[in-house]
Amino acid sequence: MTLKEIAQRAGVSTATVSYVINNSGHISEETRKKVQDIIRQTGYRTNKLAGSLRKNRTGLIGILVEDITVWHTPYIIDGINRLADEKNCYTILSNLQMVRKIDNSFDKLTGFQKDIDKAVQTLLGLQVDGIIYIGMHDRLMDNVLRKAGKPVVYCYCYTADGEASSVRYDNEKAEYRITRNVIDRGHRRIALIGGYVTSEPARLRRKGFLKALQEAGITLPKSWDECGEYDFQKGKAAAIRILTGKDGGTKKDLLPRQERPTAMVAMNDEMALGVYNAAAELGLRIPEDLSVTGFDDAEFTQQLIPPLMTAQRPLHKMGYSALSLLLERIEDESEQVTNIIYPCRIIEGASVSDFRTGDSTVKDDRKTEENGT
């Protein structure tokens, strides 16, 4: 069933039918009703692609993801979908499947220009109006879509300022606020369990952590400045070293209270979980004997006992916002390049004790990120 056939049945021209369908032009109520009835009867559905051919606008958005199986990606896509539904645009998903190709090494995240170019060419061949690129690690990267010649927004990664719009979250401030929170509860002896040194979030989170310490006039002993490479086991090992002064110690190796930190700031939730484990092995209670914080708001943090204090990344909102920026640029090519950095929400789990009140139980009003972006 085509628009032409509808026109014939209704005894009007194709233009009239087109006007009715698109609410354009000036159509009499009578004609409109007649046409709509026939459309309903026949179950006619317009061929969007044919229209696009003429209009040179498809309403298609390319979502180019480095890897869809990486934890944050689907949440970002979900945010994109949310706005796409509102704006009647459609998403073509292109998945570079980098995890498989790089074998999980953070350092090989380059040299994919050929894969990317191919994916972009495909998307452009499908006449997408613009592209959102979702990174698998938050980082500064080449403007790999420079040649696209269509509006582009980077999400969960970014390029040199001014080159393209991007949407990120604020690593530094979030870690600062977490650390501040810990300090405000009376902690002065605080250790750090860091992520991959080459990773940008690790660098930023460290910066935020140190800033909070500095503001409070606290110094970080060298032996409390460990690296856990974002890994559970390594995080646990780091915690044990800090708490015992030895590699792989047990209960009896535990340092005297005044030589141990009262709190540990881990740069992600996995390592925080490692700290929980280390504490359990050493017979330390959380948070009475040791406070812990994480980062990322992994699902399991809600189920730990006690719940973990962590930072929730605004993933849904980042996706929503990325599409919003993209659509603006599609509407108006002259639109400014915009680089957005959203704050995280700090989830105040009960994993940090409060020395001021002596009460370690903290209100836990955690909700999942509001979808009402």
| DSSP for residue 55 | H
- Crossing angle for the helix pair 3-10 and 14-22, to the nearest 10 degrees: 110
Q: Are 103 and 125 within 8 A, CB to CB?
A: no
Q: 350 is written with which tokens?
A: 């009960």
Region of 16-24, 88-96, 214-222, 287-295 interacting with DNA (CB under 7 A): 16-24
Q: Tell the smallest beta-carbon distance from residue 67 to a copy of itself (Å).
A: 8
* Count of residues in contact with a copy of itself, rule CB under 8 A: 46
Query: 118 to 177, contacts with a copy of itself by CB under 8 A?
Result: 121-122, 124-127
Tell me if 21 contacts a copy of itself by CB under 8 A: no
Q: How far apart are the first and last CA of the chain?
A: 39
Region of 58-66, 210-218, 241-249, 357-365 interacting with a copy of itself (CB under 8 A): 58-66
4 vs 101, beta carbon nearer DNA? 4
Q: Of the candidates 199, 197, 204, 158, which has an alpha carbon nearest to the alpha carbon of residue 338?
A: 158
C-alpha 230/C-alpha 235 separation (Å) is 7
Q: Of the candidates 314, 298, 35, which has an alpha carbon nearest to the alpha carbon of residue 174?
A: 314
Which helix (DSSP H) or strand (DSSP E) does residue 258 occupy?
none
C-alpha 373/C-alpha 363 separation (Å) is 25
* Count of residues in contact with DNA, rule CB under 7 A: 29
3-state secondary structure 10-26: HCCCHHHHHHHHHCCCC
Region of 7-15, 80-88, 91-99, 290-298 interacting with DNA (CB under 7 A): 7-15
Interface residue with DNA, options 47, 110, 250, 368 (CB under 7 A): 47
Residues that bind DNA (CB under 7 A): 2-4, 11-16, 18-19, 21-22, 24-28, 30-32, 46-47, 50-51, 53-56
List contacts with a copy of itself (CB under 8 A): 45-50, 52-53, 58, 60, 63, 67-69, 73-75, 77-78, 81-82, 85, 90-95, 97, 100, 121-122, 124-127, 232-233, 270, 273, 277, 280, 300, 303, 305, 371
